[in-house]
Amino acid sequence: MTRIMKVAILLAFTSITRGHVGVVLLTILILVLVALNLFFVPSLLRGLVGGANDKVVNTYSGHIVVESAEDSPLIDNVDGLATRIEAINGVVATSPRTNIGAELSYDDHRVTSVIYAIRPEQDAKVFTIREHLIEGSYLESRDLDQILLGVQVSGSDRENLEFYYRSLRKVHAGDRITVTFNSGLQKKYTVKGIVYTEFLQTDLQAFITEREYRNLNSLSRNRASSIRVKLSKDTDVQWAVDQIKNLKNGLKLTTWEDNAGIIRSMTDSFNVINAILNTVNLLVAGITVFIVTYIDVSNRRRQIGIQRAIGITPYSITISYLIRAVFYGIVGIAIAGAVFIYGVVPLEARFPFRFPFGEAYLSVDFSHMTRIGLILLVVAVIAAFIPVRRVISTKILDAIWG
Amino acid sequence: MYDIQDLTRVYHMGRVGVRALDGVSFTVGDGDMVAIMGRSGSGKSTLLRQLGLLDKPTSGKIIFDGREVTRLSERERARLRLKYLGYVFQEYALLGELTAHQNVYLPGMMLGQKKVDYRARAKELLEVVGLGARTRHYPRELSGGEQQRVAIARALINNPRVLFADEPCANLDTISSRMVMETLVKLNHEMGLTIVFVSHDPEDKRYARSLVLLSDGTIEKVVMLV
């Protein structure tokens, strides 16, 4: 075995170092491009899915939504429950919210929207909405007659918005709009700020303070339609759900994944697309390596015939080509990995792709890259093996003299 | 050493069968130097390839050292070639990516005999064929005659019982041809190596101890020259 390997290594080494530079570079270049493709697409989809999920958690639902499962849509003694939830290990913050159906109007334009009554300081501990202000300022607890609008509601003269033609179109911070609540109550509000989270479902919302809502409905004190819960990174969501369930009967708990809605079906589709693209890319990689090796081996047919004629075993010859394939594979994957991590990822971070739910950044997953690299190596070895076996199985004289 | 019995080789070209060898029988003794001669297309190279186990005859027997080797598997034939037979091709047939030294020691490395320093032996053999100073040169840096002598050294690396040379001087000038043939003679005389060579040049029979003359795939005559 040792002598077979020694001969194979000598043949592989000399053919790499003394072989046609163009063929060596072309083979490595092809593998670099294939590997880059295999790294790029899943990273983009992963970045896309991760970004969308983050938006769901950080701007829309929090990690867990606690609601009333009883006849009343409101949770009673919400302050007490929120305090007990915050005492659970891994819970970072809670924010009670009450949603109110309403119609908003400005000039001739009307929009139906959900208005959330929130405690701004507490809400800002669960959500990052405050960081997405594009006009005006965020709500404060004492605010009355003030409203915070999502940009898809205000329009704000941004004609490129997805829902611009269904928005109030030209509303900016400081403008006064009319809100007609489902109860029939109508009131004028000053737009305190406008947020643009780039997550469509959040940007279609509006917010007032809980204090303002208490003025409208005195029965709402210490009650809310939901409590949004933020967890620390390493806390298992399902475990936290079970802990909260134990606190009180008559609660309905949903996770951010349950609330992801369209995003969830989108991520499922992305995972399928990802799997299909990976399979196709690996097939393309295999066929490419096969073709390059086939042409190379065909050009070396005579050399292989001579090697066999002087007594070099088919094993040694085959292994020498497999070593070459592994070498090309490792070099190609290493170059592709370096180009991807130090070139493509920083470049994409500077000029990110934009989607309706925000910017998508390439997500580097080293375990995934290693897995892809190993699969690509195996594919390269198999693709090299087939043409070599074909030439090896021809008669020596046919190999030498054609 | 070699007992060739009624050897026939038919090549099929479409529906047509061409008899390259037709009932050839002769023997090769230990330490002999046999010249196989004949006109172009007489079957010289075909006969040598059968003896060198590079091709299989259609019928007949090849007996090497009392053992029939005609129908051995490719693996066994490769082992016999590696251990007992050396082959020098008409067109040098060196591996272009290896140096002269590597070309020579490669079959030695493959055989992997214990206590044999194939690298040192390759250098010795290159000295024997007069190329001791050219060990690190690649084939394209050597003349045709030098390449052919490297091929001879390579054929000798595993101490073969027989050396086959298929028109070793066909592509060489007169001086290089003489050097190559004299190298073969030296190996036969000084090392007692059995050599079977093919040549189309009648003058080359002066190097041989016996002559096999082929005509249209059959033996016209076998002559003992010394």
Report the residue from A17, A312, A314 with minimal CB separation from B106: A312
B55–A10 C-beta distance less than 8 A: no
Confidence of residue A197 (pLDDT cuts 50, 70, 90): very high
Is B59 within the bounds of a domain?
A: no
Q: pLDDT tens for residues A216-269? A: 887 778 899 999 999 999 999 999 999 999 998 889 999 998 887 767 777 778
Mean pLDDT on A373-379: 88
Alpha helix (H) ranges present in B52-132?
74-84, 100-111, 118-128
Give me the residue label for tokens 């990110």.
Answer: A352
How many structural domains compose chain B? 1
- Distance in Å, alpha carbon of B133 to nearest chain A alpha carbon: 21
The answer to whether position B66 is within a domain reads no
For range A365-375, the mean pLDDT: 88
Give the distance from residue A28's alpha carbon to the nearest chain B alpha carbon, in angstroms: 20
Report the pLDDT value the prediction gives residue B14, as an integer from 0 to 100.
80
- Nearest Cβ partner for B102 among A10, A303, A400: A10
> Tokens 């969830």 — which residue?
A264
Partner residue opposite A18 with nearest CB, options B55, B79, B97: B97
Is residue A69 packed enough to be buried (19+ CB in 10 Å), middle (13-18) or exposed (0-12)? exposed
Q: What is the mean pLDDT of chain B?
A: 90
Q: What is the pLDDT of residue A5?
A: 93
0.80 exceeded by the pTM? Answer: no
Residue B162 included in any domain: yes
In-domain check, residue B86: yes
Comparing CB atoms, the residue among A4, A14, A310 nearest residue B107 is A310
Interface with A, mutate which of B97, B101, B103, B136 (most A CBs under 10 A): B97
pLDDT cut 70: percent of chain A above it: 99
On chain B, the residues whose CB falls within 8 A of the CB of A396 are 54-55
- Partner residue opposite A310 with nearest CB, options B79, B87, B96: B87
Lowest mean pLDDT among A50-59, A260-269, B115-124, B190-199: A260-269
The confidence score (pLDDT) of residue A61 equals 92
C-alpha distances in angstroms, B35 versus A376, B125, B206, B215, B219? 55, 23, 9, 14, 13
Please indicate whether, in this complex, the C-beta atoms of A10 and B82 are within 8 angstroms of each other. no
Asked if residue B61 belongs to a domain, the reply is no
Q: Do B107 and A312 touch (CB under 8 A)?
A: yes
pLDDT beyond 90 at A45: no
pLDDT at B41 over 80: yes
**How far apart are alpha carbons B14 and A384 in whole angstroms?**
32
Confirm if A142 and A70 have CB atoms less than 8 A apart. no
CA dihedral B185, B188, B193, B196 (to 10 degrees): 50
Stretch A103-114: mean pLDDT: 94
C-alpha atoms less than 13 angstroms from C-alpha of A375 in its C-beta half-sphere: 18
Q: For residue A1, what pLDDT is reported?
A: 64
Classify the C-alpha dihedral A164-A360-A97-A126 as positive or negative.
negative
Q: Do B109 and A306 touch (CB under 8 A)?
A: no
CATH of the domain at B133: 3.40.50.300
Compute the average pLDDT of residues A81-104. Answer: 95
The helix-helix angle for A2-18 and B100-111 (nearest 10°) equals 160
A303:B107 CB<8 A = no
Instruction: Give A110-154 pLDDT, tens digit per residue.
Output: 999 999 999 999 999 999 999 999 999 999 999 999 999 999 999
Q: Contacts of residue A4 in chain B, CB cutoff 8 Å? A: 110
What value does the mean pLDDT take over residues A344-369? 86
> Residue B58 carries which DSSP code?
S
Q: From the list B54, B97, B110, which residue is nearest A309 (CB)?
A: B54
Please give, rounded to a whole number of angstroms, the shortest distance from the CA of B226 to a CA of chain A: 31
Q: What percentage of chain B carries pLDDT values higher than 90?
A: 62
- The more confidently predicted of residues A196 and B77 is A196
Report yes or no: B116 at the A interface, CB cutoff 8 Å: no
pLDDT at B11 > cutoff 80:
yes
Residue A310 has pLDDT above 90, yes or no: no
Rounded mean pLDDT, B203-222: 92
pLDDT grade, residue A402 (50/70/90)?
low
pLDDT at B202 over 90: no
Q: Give me the amino acid identity at A19.
A: G
> B54-69, pLDDT tens digit by residue?
999 999 999 999 999 9
Q: What is the mean pLDDT of chain A?
A: 90
Return the SS3 of B36: strand
Q: Is the pLDDT score of B45 beyond 80?
A: yes
Which candidate in A2, A10, A310, A389 is best for mutational testing of the B interface (most B CBs within 10 A)? Answer: A310
Q: What is the pLDDT of residue B15?
A: 82
CB contact under 8 A, A306 and B95: yes
pLDDT digits (tens, 9 = 90+) for B138-179: 999 999 889 989 998 999 898 899 999 998 888 778 888 888
CA A239, A245, A250 angle in degrees (round to 5)? Answer: 155
For residue A324, what are its two tokens? Answer: 């070459």
CA closest to A2 among chain B residues: B112
The 3-class secondary structure across A235-259, one letter per residue, is CCHHHHHHHHHCCCCCEEEEEHHHH
pLDDT per residue over B102-131, tens digit each? 999 999 999 887 777 899 999 999 998 889
User: Is A313 in Cβ contact with B107 (below 8 Å)?
Assistant: no
Residue where the block lists tokens 């070793």: B168
Looking at the complex, report in whole angstroms how far the Cα of residue A13 sits from the nearest Cα belonging to chain B. 10
The helix (H) or strand (E) run that includes residue B164 is strand B162-166
B195 is a domain residue: yes
B98 CB within 8 Å of a chain A CB: yes
Identify the three-state secondary structure at position A146.
strand
Chain A residues lying within 8 Å of B98, measured CB to CB? 10, 14, 18
Would the pLDDT of B38 be above 90? yes
> Above 90 in pLDDT, residue A48?
no
| Short-list A6, A228, A272, CA closest to A126 | A228
Question: Which residues span the domain enclosing B104?
Answer: 30-53+73-224
Q: Is B5 within a domain?
A: no
In a domain, B8, yes or no: no
